[in-house]
Amino acid sequence: MSTEVAGRTRMSPRRRGRLVRAAQYVVLAVVVLVVALVADWSQIRRAFFDPEVMAAQFPRVLTIALANTVVYTLLGFAFGLVLGLVLALMRLSRVAPYRWIATIYIEFFRGLPALLVFIAIGTGVPLAFPGTFLNRYVIVMLALGLVGAAYIAETLRAGIQAVPRGQVEAARSLGMSSMRATVSIVIPQAFRIVLPPLTNEFIMLTKDSSLAYLLGSTLDQQELAQFGRQALTEYRSLTPVLVAGSCYLIITIPLGILARRLEARTKKAR
Amino acid sequence: MVRTSRASTPSDDLVIAVDGLRKSFGDLEVLKGIDLQVRRGEVVCVIGPSGSGKSTVLRCLNLLEQPTSGTVHLLGTDVTHPDCDIDRVRRRVGMVFQQFNLFPHLSVLRNCTIAQQKVLGRSGDEAEQVARRNLERVGLSDKVDAFPQQLSGGQQQRVAIARALSMDPDLMLFDEPTSALDPELVGDVLSVMRDLAEDGMTMLVVTHEMAFAREVADRVVFMDAGLLVEEGPPEQVIGAPREQRTRSFLQRVLDPTHAEPGGA
């Protein structure tokens, strides 16, 4: 077999790898060149980087849109964290029905597009329970939290299971009840272990908070995605979308770096 | 006061009373009927080859492992009785593990106070006083604010002892407390345990340290293959063992280079 392959290529793997890489660079350069020549740059600049339109977005993009994105995300994350912790403990419970309920919940919400959940909560709940007035912030918190909880629960479960068995044995030997050992000894350690993946869940929720645009809103309640979309139709320029997108990156990129740093630190600590 | 169970009422003096203890993991029978008694103030060392079930006996006492059959009386309470509130018994029984098992997210001081507060309901001030006293007792007064991972293995194990002592236990269980330590750190831990024995603490120690057993123990128990083979004063069990199995074990441990082949 191996002689057959060697016979066909007649090239050392290293030389072959170098050739493939060189070919990739050439293709990339050609593509960039063609795009640069074909594109109508003044048109593109007007569509994406119109300085006047850009200036017009401030300060509202920060004071209203970015602020609302942060508030929605924090609300959703807080709710998701509480629900996720309950679900994680249920999945690890000795009581079988608890485990079933948690598993069904997690599989259900992880399997659905977040979009559908937002539609269901935003329009379905007011329809199903007429007369109940749900604040828009509460609706977003519910929808984001319900979706986030499914992912957070699995992350926390892994963290709880990663705490060495000896920790529980030591706590129980000191006379702590199972509940007390879980609360005082296991969960604090589990949270440290899952801090990096939890940061990633937060980034995911930040982006998913854009789905709040489905729910319709007053100007004061707009978050980044809706703000950008409305300004897009207003100015007939993509510039506001670009501004809104940059605002997401202002949140997500530093958090991504933080997550990687935390991960490196926990790896070193072991 | 010692709560006595309805099953039997061993004398108040008897801190541990094990009767026909058996333990199986799946098809593997690790303990094949153990009888063991420890009186108040006694220091008993359990020796034997690895895999003989020494640690399992210890772990069955405070129900870290559930015995398959037999009864265990701890401080006068039948812990194998289904109605037994094991948490109430455990708070009076200190346990020290081979791997220390300190809580890595808590400072040394907090390691020693958390159970006092959460389990015994002591105030923060009282718990801290007790913890500081016990940390001084194990020679680590200067480490109260350190975190476990900043300490050597020997220091960690001494904190673990202080943590157990802070609960004011009536009995201390040691599960190979020096087996995970670098040789030069073993002495500090053993000397703390020796002081403890001299202060009259009731201790059950699973150990490979023959010199310690010979010097400190009131009684030595030799276990092999899930059975209690021989027990008696150290000068007899270690000095002049009656059983062939004890003799071949001791020969291997005390003089590994000249062990007779096939001694096991």
Q: How far apart are CA B62 and CA B163, in angstroms?
A: 17
What the block records as the tokens of A100 is 């079933």
Q: How far is residue A82 from each of residues A76, A113, A184, A196, B204, measured CA to CA in Å?
A: 10, 21, 16, 18, 43
Which residues of B fall below an 8 Å CB-CB distance to A?
A: 62, 64, 87-88, 90-95, 97, 99, 101-105, 114-115, 118-120, 149, 160, 163-164, 167
pLDDT digits (tens, 9 = 90+) for B150-171: 999 999 999 999 999 999 999 9
DSSP chain A: -HHHHHHHH-S-HHHHHHHHHHHHHHHHHHHHHHHHHHS-HHHHHHHH--HHHHHHHTTHIIIIIIHHHHHHHHHHHHHHHHHHHHHHHHHT-SSHHHHHHHHHHHHHHHHS-HHHHHHIIIIIHHHHSTT----HHHHHHHHHHHHHHHHHHHHHHHHHHHS-HHHHHHHHHTT--HHHHIIIIIHHHHHHHHHHHHHHHHHHHHHHGGGGGGG---GGG--HHHHHHHHHHHHTSSHHHHHHHHHHHHHHHHHHHHHHHHHHHHHHH-
- Cβ–Cβ gap A174/B115 under 8 Å: yes
Cis before A59 (ω within 30): yes
pLDDT digits (tens, 9 = 90+) for A169-191: 999 999 999 999 999 999 999 99
B101 vs A contacts (CB less than 8 Å): 164, 166-167, 169-170
A188 vs B contacts (CB less than 8 Å): 105
Least confident of A9-23, A37-51, A240-254: A37-51
Q: Does the structure show a pLDDT above 90 at B5?
A: no
pLDDT of residue A9: 58
Mutate to test the interface with A, among B91, B100, B105 (most CBs of A within 10 A): B105
Q: How far apart are CA B56 and CA B212, in angstroms?
A: 21
CA distance to partner chain A, nearest, from residue B104 (Å): 8
A269 vs B contacts (CB less than 8 Å): 149
pLDDT digits (tens, 9 = 90+) for A193-220: 999 999 999 999 999 999 988 887 777 7
Model confidence, pTM:
0.80
B76 three-state secondary structure? coil
Q: What is the interface size between A and B, counted as CB pairs within 8 Å? A: 59
pLDDT of residue A4: 52
pLDDT digits (tens, 9 = 90+) for B64-102: 999 999 999 999 999 999 999 999 999 999 999 999 999
- Residue type for B41, please? G
- Cβ–Cβ gap A166/B99 under 8 Å: yes
Q: How far apart are CA B264 and CA B248, in angstroms?
A: 7
Q: How far is residue B3 from each of residues A94, B7, B73, B79, B164, measured CA to CA in Å?
A: 30, 12, 11, 11, 21
Answer for the pair B209, B178: CB distance below 8 angstroms, yes or no: yes
pLDDT digits (tens, 9 = 90+) for A29-54: 999 999 888 888 888 887 778 888 87
Answer for the pair A205, A73: CB distance below 8 angstroms, yes or no: yes
pLDDT of residue B62: 92
More confident residue, B239 or A60: B239
B92 vs A contacts (CB less than 8 Å): 175
**In this predicted complex, what is the ipTM?**
0.90
CA distance to partner chain B, nearest, from residue A266 (Å): 13
Q: Does the structure show a pLDDT above 80 at A21?
A: yes
Q: Whose structure tokens read 């150290």?
A: B234
